Structure 1
Amino acid sequence: MDQYSKRPRSQAWEHFTVLHGESKVRCRICSQRLTFAGNTSSMLRHLRAKHPSSSALCTLGSQHTGPVPSGKQREVDEAVLNMIIKDLQPFSIVEDEGFRAFVESLDPSCIIPTSKALKNMVHEKYQEAKRKTVGELEEVKFVSLTADMWTSVNMDVCLGMTCHYITEKSELDTALLGVKKLSQTHRAEDIKEAKTAMLSDWGLSGKVNCLVTHNAANMIAYADLLQVRHVPCFAHTLNSLVKKAMAQTDGLQGIRHRTRQIVGLLKASTTAQERLSNMQDQMGMQKMKLVQEVEARWSSTFLMLQRIHQLREPVGAVLATLKTDITPLSSAEYDTVKYCLSVLAPFFHAATELSEEKRVSASKVIPIITMIQHNLTEKCALNHNQVASVLSSNLQRCLNVHYGGAESVNVLALATLLDPRFKTIAFGNPQHAQQAERSLIAECASLLPQSGPPHSLKGSSLQQLKMETSTDETPGPSATSSGKDSLWELLDSSVTEAQKVHSSTADAAAEVMRYLNSPYLPRTGDPLDFWRKHSAIYPHLFTLARKYLSMPASSVPCSHIFSKAGEIMCQKRNRLSPSTLEKILFLNKNL
């Protein structure tokens, strides 16, 4: 018997006809076709949305306890939409049998929106959220950008860009500007075209303070094309320099190789894992698992060495019971691991802080570098292990290569100076701190009212002065008087303007000195809260703080966006359009 020949239970079928072979139904009132997925939810939704005044709804009373109120239905739609966005669920979940049965058990009268309706709702919600963010960005004078690229499961190269700014309420906020598909070459010109379109779309042209990305050549070239200062991602650079220093330390490389083999052997065998667990019990130790390093992240190497050093006794006992050619680490090698871990610890703590904080300001770059250099110097003086000493020297050299001039980078220096937790005390070189003070005073003075830069008499040629003071060959009394006035006009105007500049510079210097001499904020304090409370006391510095403290230390926020993009654009959802992906990511970030 045909599955549709038997009269369905729902009375919604009185207003729809099944189109055999098409998996669709047609409304008998307006002839609109709807996709049929084995239930009547889309039909009921259509009747309520398109024919609310018809008698169709009256016939549904016998099926449900009563029609769902429009306000309640909006709440249901919003809840399902928020679940899709927050949990990154596919739209098709609303058509899954288990999900529908779950909702039916909660409220039989509930009408679940279709996947097509959800896509439309995502579009509407995105447009609403975007209008709100654009309105907020209109009030912002300065923004900082982070960018990154990602390859999807379809091998499409996508460019993502996030915007960081401080709101009128002195709160740090982030917005996803877009995720754009690039050509396979993804040259700097292609990146520029995509990013310029994003900046124009969001009304940010002329407001960009800096671009924070990894050190890829196309990103650096793009920053040059856009004439925006490029700031290397601190987290990415830190990861690269530590990996390079470890690779240059021969004694450590051999230990790493053997440790990887030991960890791989013990993690691959269930018998070995069970023996390791039992051995920890017998030794009265807390149960811990071995960690295998990931080549891309040096911090995983640190954790691998740290864990095998903690479990050196049970690991050695288990290896003795296994038939393997892998030689356990010796006592001297474990000592080397201990000293190397001590040298690497400051870098690990810095990487942990960068990853744990929701937003890390660029004001922390110089202080972290200063503290790492201080720790390396102290540990090098106390370290008597040869391998650890070589590692320490390699780290210091790599750190100087990448960040030896960090205190001279104007944007980083001003960000540090404007952070009330650090000010000048975080600088390792006092001369760099003084230079940063002068730059801050000059930029603060530029915000004060003045008529322009002073004219210099040295810049005026004799011929120019003659032209400015020239009169008729036979001047009359009035002309002589006029010529007398014009003789001193240039000097008098220059003196007046110089006084204005001097006054604005003095006022700026006074404001900067008052701020620098004020008490330091505790390191765990919130610098934006400080500026919120002191905006009236330091009005011009407050403007500069909003400019420089919005700059992130790394492009990690953009990397997090692509981590979520990988969860969304999976094998089951590889036909999702870039536009829909962009909207879901934006709402997920801002919901």
Structure 2
Amino acid sequence: MDNIVPKSYVTNAPPPTSNLPENPTQMESDNFRGKKRKKPPIVKKGSSVWEHFTKIEECEPDDLRYLCNYCWNDYACDTKRHETSTLWNHYKNAYEASPYKVDEKKQKTLSFEPKKGGKEGEGSLVAVQFNKEACRQAVARYIVLDELPFRHVEGEGFRQMVRVLQPRFDIPSQMTVARYILKLYYEEKSTLKNVLKNERVSLTTDTWTLIQNINYMCITAHWINREFQLQKRIINFCQITDHKGETIGKEVEA
């Protein structure tokens, strides 16, 4: 009976001692004791501005240059000697004015861009992506340039053609096209005002009468730019009461 261990002592007794560390993480630290842990390598990410420029392969190794994907101007691109602030400033201006600006970051496709003022077949390849906003602006310009009615975009023939050309493009309604054309008008008007600030212009008028006895007048501005090219823009189209010189003069002044 003296050798029997009381039951209460068995249930309340602490666990047997051993060589296990009191701190569970002590074993892991002991395994690395005397060894320096290697820090994870720091990966430096390059500037995202290079996504909008294409490297010129034929340039000299000491003079690396990149081409802008939107206006094709070239800039120095040696990252060890040049900063990217100039490229960012150029990108913000060229990107906004480019019809090839994109919303997506993947799945680029090559497209042939004709050279402005060049012969047929002259141009270069550019990497483009689908852009819904650029497509709508292109449709608005198409309606204006070809003098088509707004409802043209709702015609079945036009819709079938667009589905073949770009199935991802959601064709806008005639009301949406009208809003884009109005926006385009204000943009072109602002651009023309900035041009005429630095030019000496000559104004000409053209008047006519409809069969309903309604008189109209068109005012056109002519000037020669710095490249000695004759330019002309319609700056007003309005209704007048008659074709008298005094009436025309007051309308031009207004």
State the TM-score, normalized to the length of structure 2: 0.45
- The structure whose residues are more often helix, as a share, is 1
- The structure whose residues are more often strand, as a share, is 2
State the TM-score, normalized to the length of structure 1: 0.20
